[in-house]
């Protein structure tokens, strides 16, 4: 039944990504594409879905490897969960909430602050995974690289759109 655990581990990170895709669809079309300034070097919108799907699958596989290495701890008991898996769940939560902060609430400052927290939590997770299973740590390198691009993009958008830094209401105040 190890394959079932692996399947769950790979699917789990994708759940938030899929849910967020449905939630933000209109916000991308009506706000991101039309109302804010973006740098010319940003990836095309079509790239985000496939890239995140691959990264989520790699994250899930990495977490599975660490979970196995740690003798399959009970993931339902957060208090007794080993630190590498707690870090994994923290970064996953931060990953999932960035999207609504940015696209739904359109709060660029909070999104920038949050993605910086996400960067740190992913780096900590990567190193914690590395200590348990080198391949698991290596599997998070593409995620951190893509996240670095996302952080640069968020920063560029924050700089270029001062009227949106504190959400839609801040535009009306100026």
CATH of the domain at 72: 1.20.1260.100
| pLDDT tens for the 174 residues of the chain, in order | 588 999 999 999 999 999 999 888 888 888 999 999 999 999 999 999 999 999 999 999 999 999 999 999 998 888 999 999 999 999 999 999 999 999 999 999 999 999 999 999 999 999 999 999 999 999 999 999 999 999 999 999 999 999 999 998 765 555
Nearest CA to 137 out of 158, 123, 118, 153 is that of 123
State the residue range of the domain holding 46: 2-173
Whether the pTM exceeds 0.85: the reply is yes
Look at the block and give the residue holding tokens 């968020």.
154
> Cα–Cα distance between 121 and 160 in angstroms, integer?
26
Asked whether the beta carbons of 148 and 122 are under 8 A apart, the reply is no
Look at the block and give the residue holding tokens 């739904």.
104
Half-sphere exposure of residue 55: CA atoms within 13 angstroms, side-chain side: 20
Number of domains comprising the chain: 1
What would the two tokens of residue 109 be?
């400052």
């Amino acid at each position: 039944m190890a394959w079932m655990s692996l399947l769950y581990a790979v699917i789990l990170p994708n759940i938030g990504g899929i849910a967020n895709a449905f939630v933000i669809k209109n916000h991308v079309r009506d706000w991101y594409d039309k109302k804010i300034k973006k740098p010319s070097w940003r990836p095309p919108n079509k790239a985000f879905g496939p890239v995140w799907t691959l990264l989520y699958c790699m994250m899930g596989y990495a977490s599975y490897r660490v979970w196995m290495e740690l003798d399959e701890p009970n993931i339902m008991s957060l208090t007794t969960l080993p630190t590498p898996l707690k870090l994994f769940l923290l970064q996953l939560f931060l990953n999932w909430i960035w999207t609504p902060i940015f696209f739904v609430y359109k709060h660029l400052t909070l999104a920038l602050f949050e993605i910086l927290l996400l960067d740190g939590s992913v780096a900590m997770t990567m190193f914690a995974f590395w200590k348990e299973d080198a391949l698991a740590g290596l599997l998070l390198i593409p995620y951190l690289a893509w996240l670095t691009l996302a952080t640069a993009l968020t920063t560029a958008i924050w700089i270029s759109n001062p009227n949106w830094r504190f959400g839609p209401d801040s535009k009306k105040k100026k």
